Every structure is written in structure tokens, then in C-alpha cells.
Amino acid sequence: MALRAAGFVIFRRISNEIEYLLLQTSYGEHHWTPPKGHVDPGESDIETAWRETEEEAGLKKEHLHLIDGFSSTLKYDVNGRPKSVIYWLAELKKQDTDIKLSDEHQDFKWLSLDKACSLAGFPEMQRLFRDCQAFIEGKKQKC
């Protein structure tokens, strides 16, 4: 059975620059990732994304604006088992909102696209950040 997870790619605007939130795990290889987690029984993917974001980063619905029209699913293997992670895009409403990490993470950073891609490491995650950036810039130009 495939593993399912969900989360948000969270961004903020600082002086017209876009920065992405990455959390560093406190386990394994200490990789960097947006907030996400496994879907609990009876929970929808979007409910999981909200729950995990609050648990891992301390960000609640009132802190974020869910961006309409963007979602992306990454598929890869973990210990020989298929896993799919759906991400939605969300903007931090107030750029100085505190991040409150859970025990699952040891650090966080707000990073530009290039730095986020460099730290994320995995090609699928790099593509996700680039897709998010293109979507945000496309939205921005239409305003």
C-alpha cells in the first residue's frame, strides 16, 4: 500500500522578493522540506496539510492564505515503498509571524528560490519550488 502525505509550500514576500519556508528534520540525514506529514485514517489530504503545518511550524489557518489553483503531487519511493505527497501553495499573511518548531525539526529558514532549491536537494522538490515560483509570478503579473 502506498504511503500518503500532504503539506504546504509556504512563501512570504519581503520587499517584493519571494522566500520559501523550509524545515530541517531532527532525524535521519537532517534534510530540509516544507511542512508535511502522513494522512491519518479518516482525514482528507487538505486536513492533513493544515494539521501538519500547525504541528510542525506552529502556523494555523489564520496565518496563511491558501492560493487557489495550485497543487502538485510528488511521487517517490521510501524504503522500497511508493509514497505520494500532495502540496498546496500558501502565503504567509504577516511576514513576521513566528515559526514554532516541533520536536521533529531542529531549524527553519526562509529562502529565495535558488537557495531553497539548493538546500532541498531532491530534483522533485526543486521542480516543485520552480513550479510554485512560476505560478506566483504568473498570478502577480495578472493583478
**β-pairing, 3-14 with 32-33?**
unpaired
pLDDT score of 91 = 97
Could you list the pLDDT tens digit for every one of the 143 residues in the chain?
678 999 999 999 998 899 999 999 998 788 899 999 999 999 999 999 999 999 999 999 999 999 999 999 999 887 888 899 999 999 999 999 999 999 999 999 999 999 999 998 789 999 999 999 999 999 654 33
Other beta carbons within 10 angstroms of residue 78's beta carbon come to: 9
pLDDT in tens, 74-96: 998 878 888 999 999 999 999 99
Ordered by where they begin, the domains of the chain are: 3-142 (3.90.79.10)
Is residue 88 within 8 Å of 9, Cβ to Cβ?
A: yes
Cα separations in angstroms, 44 against 18, 61, 66, 73: 29, 16, 16, 15
pLDDT score of 140 = 53
For residue 133, give the DSSP letter.
Answer: H
pLDDT score of 139 = 65
Give the residue among 122, 89, 62, 113 at the shortest CA–CA distance from 8.
89
